[in-house]
Amino acid sequence: MPEYLSPGVYLEERQTGPEPIESVSTSTTGFVGMTQRGPFDQLPPILVTSFPEFARIFGGYFNPAFTGVAPAVPLNVLPYAVAGFFNNGGKRLYIKRVANGTAGSTPASAKVAGLQNGVSAQIVTRLAAPAGTGSTTLQLQSLRGIQANSTLSLTQVLNGVTTTIAVPLTGYNDSNNSVTFAAALAQSFDPQFTTVTVTANAGYNVAATPIALSAADPGAWGNSLQVKIRANSRAVSAVASLGDSVPGTHDMVILRSTAGFYVGAIIEFNLGTTKSYAKVTNVNGNRIQVTPAFGALTALNPTGIPATIARTCEFDVLATDGTVAEAFRGLTLDDTTPYFYATTIVGNSLLLTVPKNAAPPPLYPRDNATADPSTIPMAGDGLNVQMNGGADGGVPTAQDYIGADGGPGHRTGIAALMDVDQISIIGAPGYTDPNVQEALITQCETLKYRFAILDPAPTATNGPPGIPAIQAQRGQFDTKYAAIYYPRVIVYDPLTDSDIPVPPSGHMAGIYAATDDNRGVWKAPANVVIQGIVRLETKLSKGDHDILNPEPMNICALRDFTAQERGLRVYGARCITSDAEWKYINIRRLFILLEASLDQGTQWAVFEPNDERLWARLIQSVSSFLTTIWREGGLMGSKAEEAFFVKCGYETMTQDDIENGRLIMEVGVAPVFPAEFVIIRIGQWAGGSSVQEV
């Protein structure tokens, strides 16, 4: 009871109508299977809402590179099922990647160093433009570490011929990344095939341990990952003067602007013919404090012409797999800066990750101390990083598909689908091991609120199964929570530029979802054209269908009606059950909708006072919900009283039930059954005549 302790106006909100019950989704789907890449862990499945999004996260069509003998029946069919799902109207699909848990897949990786250890430390870069015969200038990708007295080494590998020449420099221009030299080139050099190296000058330290980059997910896909590393700068400014932070310590550099400069940045000071380096320890106004300090106030030649230029030293990492392209720019090795390469890549990349060091505590490779860019990574050829070592591992087993249940957030395979409550349709496209299909069925029967779509098992050589084979497969199961479709569908394969057979479960899940959205879950997902296929693997006759459809088979047939100009259609809507009351898919799924919605929509009643007022509120809420279903066509009857009943009170409960905390409500509904057999009786009618006087 509210308290009214002082005079005033008190506003109180009161419930004026029944508690609303909202229909749950019945079209969200979950698939388990092999993908080219993507997360392979014990985390919940990942939601995708289009095929391009699936390709971005999991890769597209692919041919796995298994260690050992590849199976005759391909396991790379999940992308085709996903495409079929979205082509047929599906909207929400959760994916769980599967791989061999014993001979597991491994990620591709590469180690990327800065300067090579040793006396002759080499800076590596690339030509930025072609260099023609007779030229005395070169344009480079980066001039970092290059001075007027440097000697470049140009190495071109073209048509199997390697050419290397030494080019002593006479000058450089940082504004356009060009260098000049006295002796004209005796031949041309192509940027695509030419690597440029230069021995680091004094002031450059020797590089530390190289960093490592790894493909974000295990699999052979990472070996073809294109990764590039190149030099970059976040900020550039002219030096105005050099001062002291304390008398005699020449470490305070006054810049024209400090925009983009930050604590931890490595600075390259270009004096026109030579360069020096320092690390920023403080930024204050237009001043940066650096370490190490300079030997004299004239060290940066602040009054020279042209002016000394201060430039930050960072690097870019670019990656693409042909579908996804990523660019991470202005990275550092210093984890005290906002641009630390490891956290940036790990937190944002779909393609790459950074392994931690094994030594405790495990940390990302870093360098917070070096005051020059010698440890900043460079690719071996100045641009391209070669990834290798990725493998798809062994062929996934039935147990890998079934998965392990380590509790919420620690599940794999089919078991991981339990982590997403919204899923109401599940499948393992193309994997027809009876233990896997039984695991799908078991999950549906356990959770009650989902339905499994099973695929026909091909022959051992991936040939089309015959009618006896599909009958034998169907005979292994008896459940009102699953349906099996036959035959497989033929789709165009962009990998081979040919037509291949794929399982129908992906296309069927899309049809389920589209039918639910357009007509309602009470409409049988049948007599619908299958989109995105070329033909059916087996053309069934009416006689074949007469064998497959009746009880006890209840096999859902896919039929070719192209001769009648009606296309390729789903022509079955039965569960693989011996219980005639639940033989229709739409009836089973309607009750899934009703039961799940009532379960979710009546949770508010738990621990409420178990009396007539609560019973009346429940009856009103449930009746309102069922009336909506009836008005939309989900229930029989010309009026609501003929479509359902709701009882809750002393007619459904005893005093013992009430005293033991039990509230029992009875609900009965009259579902709409599909018109599976449309029978038109026709006969001859003996017409007559009559004469009438006008």
Rounded Cα distance, 578 and 525, in Å: 20
Nearest C-alpha neighbor of 187 from the set 151, 160, 162: 162
Rounded mean pLDDT of 88-110?
Answer: 89
Instruction: Using pLDDT thresholds of 50, 70 and 90, give the confidence band for residue 691.
Output: low
Q: How far is CA 75 from the centre of its chain?
A: 19
Domain ranges of the chain: 28-103+394-521, 122-201, 211-386, 612-693
pLDDT higher than threshold 70 for residue 387:
yes
Give the model confidence (pLDDT) of 514-547 as tens digits.
999 999 999 999 999 999 999 999 999 999 999 9
Give the model confidence (pLDDT) of 461-518 as tens digits.
999 999 999 999 999 999 999 999 999 999 999 999 999 999 999 999 999 999 999 9
Instruction: Using pLDDT thresholds of 50, 70 and 90, give the confidence band for residue 116.
Output: very low
Least confident of 105-119, 168-182, 312-326, 668-682: 105-119
Other Cβ atoms less than 10 A from the Cβ of 407: the count is 10
The beta-strand segments (E) located in 406-542 are: 425-427, 451-454, 482-486, 489-493, 498-502, 528-529, 535-536
Other Cβ atoms less than 10 A from the Cβ of 489: the count is 26
Q: Which CATH number does 28-103+394-521 carry?
A: 3.40.50.11780
Give the model confidence (pLDDT) of 13-28 as tens digits.
877 778 899 999 999 9
Q: Please tell me the predicted confidence (pLDDT) of residue 689.
A: 56
Q: Please tell me the predicted confidence (pLDDT) of residue 383.
A: 86
Percent of the chain, pLDDT > 90? Answer: 76
Rounded Cα distance, 683 and 685, in Å: 6
Looking up tokens 């990942």, which residue turns up? 46
Instruction: Using pLDDT thresholds of 50, 70 and 90, give the confidence band for residue 120.
Output: very low
* Strands 266-270 and 250-255, bridge-based pairing: unpaired
Q: What is the mean pLDDT of the chain?
A: 91
Give the model confidence (pLDDT) of 264-314 as tens digits.
999 999 998 889 999 999 999 999 999 999 999 999 987 677 889 999 999
Within 13 Å and on the Cβ side, how many CA atoms surround 570? 26
Percent of the chain, pLDDT > 70? Answer: 95
Rounded Cα distance, 253 and 285, in Å: 11
Give the model confidence (pLDDT) of 561-594 as tens digits.
999 999 999 999 999 999 999 999 999 999 999 9
Q: Please tell me the predicted confidence (pLDDT) of residue 108.
A: 87
| Cβ-count burial 666-676 (b if 16+ within 10 Å, e if not) | ebebebbebee
| Cβ-count burial 240-249 (b if 16+ within 10 Å, e if not) | bebeeeeeee
Rounded Cα distance, 49 and 37, in Å: 18
Burial of 491 (0-12, 13-18, 19+ CB in 10 A): buried
Q: Please tell me the predicted confidence (pLDDT) of residue 105.
A: 79
Instruction: Using pLDDT thresholds of 50, 70 and 90, give the confidence band for residue 614.
Output: very high
Rounded mean pLDDT of 596-619?
Answer: 95
Amino acid identity of 269? Answer: F
Q: Please tell me the predicted confidence (pLDDT) of residue 241.
A: 92
* Strands 482-486 and 556-560, bridge-based pairing: parallel
